[in-house]
Amino acid sequence: MTKVHTANRLQGSMPKIAIRPVIDGRRGGIRESLEEVTMELARAVSGLLSARLRHANGLPVECVIADTCIGGVAEAAAAEEKFAREGAGVSITVTPSWCYPTETMDTDPFRPKAVWGFNGTERPGAVYLAAVLAAHNQAGLPAFGIYGRDVQDMGDTSIPDDVQEKLLRFAKAGLAAATMRGKSYLSMGSVSMGIAGCIADEPFFRRYLGMRNEYVDMSEFIRRMEREIYDPEEFVRALEWTRTHCREGEDVNPPALRRSRSQKDADWETVVKMALIARDLMVGNPALDRLGYGEEALGRNAIAAGFQGQRAWTDHYPNGDFMEAVLTSSFDWNGIREPYMLATENDTLNGVTMLFGHLLTDAAQIFADVRTYWSPDAVKRVTGYELQGSTAHGLIHLINSGPAALDGTGRMRKDGLPVMKPFWEITEEEVQACLEAVQWCPAVDFFRGGGFSTDYTTSAGMPVTMARINLVHGLGPVLQLAEGVTVELPDEVHRKLDERSNPTWPTTWFAPNLTGTGAFRDVYTVMNHWGSNHAAVSCGHIGADLITLASILRIPVAMHNVPSERLLRPSAWGAFGTEDTTGADFRACANFGPLYG
């Protein structure tokens, strides 16, 4: 298996970060004394971000520095013209000194923006920081304030660790917002089994994310399969890879409902074709143009998508589990590559949450049903086993009805812990370990058309964040999240609990971090406060990153267990209250409204 070169598979260039060095514009010695140190700060920030960040597709993050320091409105306008030409989607203003706020501030209404005011005494950038943030707040243009904890000397262009953390967090979240803008969510099918999250709420996508909605009926899969509108050479290669690496698991169906060997072989061919077709629908495929299908070759510029499946498709055709599991993984028959964000049952809201997690972590995401809270007493009653350690307070069974990204097996490693990695860090040995941890079980009886589900258990010890966006009438979108860790149970205990749900589906046992208060006073309360039947699971404790991104988009966060010192929101949020930061978040988001109006 060889690595696929990093590439932007969507239309539109990747957003860049605008670096705005602002300066006291007074000539005659003041500006002149600050020119070099101000531009050095800008170069230092650019160097940090370029060295530490990549886009989720693996391409390097580019920064664009204004040609001159910005001392007034004319230079601000000249810089803005350059940033627009270069495609800057995020801006960071830096200064070591006092400047004129309204003359130098970034006034683009849609661009996420932050200001680093140097903590010094000679020409205090912190004074400018406070003044320009006040101007942003008064103008209705929220900006993030970044202020180092310790005083630095004038001329010191090093970036303290606490400032680095905030710059990186803001920049990654800002890039996520900018990357989504102008892209599509593709619904392949419609509403699955009456799940409200499958309803594509176009005002939400347009006003909060800057995205458009595209729709394809599932009959398009039939048309493309029957007319062979897929790359025939790739199909042969994909089918051979699948036969080699995808180990078939136990068929748990009653004998009368089991499909014959010839039916299962045909199902494998169908599900591989479905994977090719879904990907081509999302991002296009030049090979289709060579086959005479120029329109189909273009795709829908979909940064995320969902497949309805149940029941209009699965009552007659093989299910979408293989398609969803393989596409959301970081590898397939073409090698190691960026995962696709594809939501089971076309749950658009979970698809968006997966997209958030992917753009923030650069890694694959697990789509999961939030299925069951197992209390210690219930586990002991059913299995005789007494939960202990990180599971002592109970655990939540995350188990999707068929597919999940193979990265979610936890067979990749970093610093001795199981992880899901950005694709460019994944080794061929780790790919093989993930494949060997999975069995593809013939679909159970309520998938009447057959197919194969993804059976694995996530390794213990992976720090993860479970998240979900919900839509509430009169309120709009609301984010909830829970940081915690994956756990494993003794094999026999796992088997007894797993079989009560479905032994052919992927399991992640999750223990949330508890705080002893509110929704996190115990594991039961976490489960009881979850706002939907689905969740997206990211590797790492990324709650603070999700909260920063949500504040950029003006999506309030109703439930989280992130320590307050890790939170980074726009400066204006503090004006809505400092004691109850959750309430202040709701009030600020309602006041400023969706990012795109």
Task: For residue 597, tell me if it sits in a domain.
Answer: no
Whether 369 is a known active-site residue: answer yes
C-beta neighbour count of 541 within 10 angstroms:
18
| Tens-binned pLDDT, residue by residue, of the chain (597 aa) | 566 778 999 999 999 999 999 999 999 999 999 999 999 999 999 999 999 999 999 999 999 999 999 999 999 999 999 999 999 999 999 999 999 999 999 999 999 999 999 888 777 778 999 999 999 999 999 999 999 999 888 888 899 999 999 999 999 999 999 999 999 999 999 999 999 999 999 999 999 999 999 999 999 999 999 999 999 999 999 999 999 999 999 999 999 999 999 999 999 999 999 999 999 999 999 999 999 999 999 999 999 999 999 999 999 999 999 999 999 999 999 999 999 999 999 999 999 999 999 999 999 999 999 999 999 999 999 999 999 999 999 999 999 999 999 999 999 999 999 999 999 999 999 999 999 999 999 999 889 999 999 999 999 999 999 999 999 999 999 999 999 999 999 999 999 999 999 999 999 999 999 999 999 999 999 999 999 999 999 999 999 999 999 999 999 999 999 999 999 999 999 999 999 999 999 999 999 999 999
C-alpha atoms less than 13 angstroms from C-alpha of 555 in its C-beta half-sphere: 28
Q: What's the CATH number where 332 sits?
A: 3.20.14.10
Task: For residue 577, tell me if it sits in a domain.
Answer: yes
Assess whether 464 and 493 both reside in one domain: yes
pLDDT, tens digit, 9 for 90 and up, residues 392-424: 999 999 999 999 999 999 999 999 999 999 999
Assess whether 167 and 213 both reside in one domain: no
User: What is the rounded CA–CA span in Å between residue 338 and residue 358?
Assistant: 10
Query: Binding-site residues for Mn(2+), please?
Result: 345, 369, 534
The reported pLDDT for the residue numbered 6 is: 87
Helix (H, G, I), strand (E, B) or coil at 512: strand
Torsion 431-432-435-437 (CA) sign: negative
Task: For residue 1, tell me if it sits in a domain.
Answer: no
Assess whether 397 and 509 both reside in one domain: yes
Helix (H, G, I), strand (E, B) or coil at 310: coil
Task: For residue 320, tell me if it sits in a domain.
Answer: yes
C-alpha atoms less than 13 angstroms from C-alpha of 359 in its C-beta half-sphere: 27
Q: Which of 125, 147, 180 is the last residue of a domain?
A: 180
Assess whether 188 and 336 both reside in one domain: yes
Task: For residue 6, tell me if it sits in a domain.
Answer: no
**Active-site hit among 75, 231, 345, 545:** 345
Assess whether 118 and 199 both reside in one domain: no
Q: How far is CA 206 from CA 34, 95, 183, 211, 547, in A?
A: 43, 34, 10, 5, 20
Whether 345 is a known active-site residue: answer yes
Assess whether 314 and 392 both reside in one domain: yes
Task: For residue 2, tell me if it sits in a domain.
Answer: no
User: What is the rounded CA–CA span in Å between residue 114 and residue 166?
Assistant: 10
Assess whether 575 and 447 both reside in one domain: yes
Q: What's the CATH number where 31 sits?
A: 3.40.50.1070
Count of structural domains, the chain: 2
Token pair belonging to 127: 């004074």
Q: Which of 155, 180, 205 is the last residue of a domain?
A: 180
> Considering the entire predicted model, what is its pTM?
0.98
Contact assessment for residue 39 and residue 69, using Cβ atoms and an 8 Å cutoff: yes
Q: How far is CA 186 from CA 159, 224, 267, 349, 458, in A?
A: 42, 17, 25, 12, 29
Query: Binding-site residues, please?
Result: 345, 369, 534
Assess whether 213 and 152 both reside in one domain: no
Assess whether 136 and 211 both reside in one domain: no
C-alpha atoms less than 13 angstroms from C-alpha of 509 in its C-beta half-sphere: 24
Token pair belonging to 247: 């180990």
Assess whether 585 and 458 both reside in one domain: yes
Assess whether 219 and 359 both reside in one domain: yes
Task: For residue 338, tell me if it sits in a domain.
Answer: yes
Assess whether 552 and 514 both reside in one domain: yes
CB-based contacts of 219-224 (< 8 A; 24+ apart in sequence)? 220/188, 220/277, 220/281, 221/188, 221/274, 221/277, 221/278, 221/313, 221/317, 222/317, 224/273, 224/277, 224/280, 224/296
Q: What is the largest CA-CA distance in the chain?
A: 92
Token pair belonging to 185: 């969510």
Q: Which of 164, 180, 196 is the last residue of a domain?
A: 180
Token pair belonging to 513: 């971090």
Domain that holds residue 27: 15-180
Task: For residue 4, tell me if it sits in a domain.
Answer: no
**Active-site hit among 24, 321, 362, 369:** 369
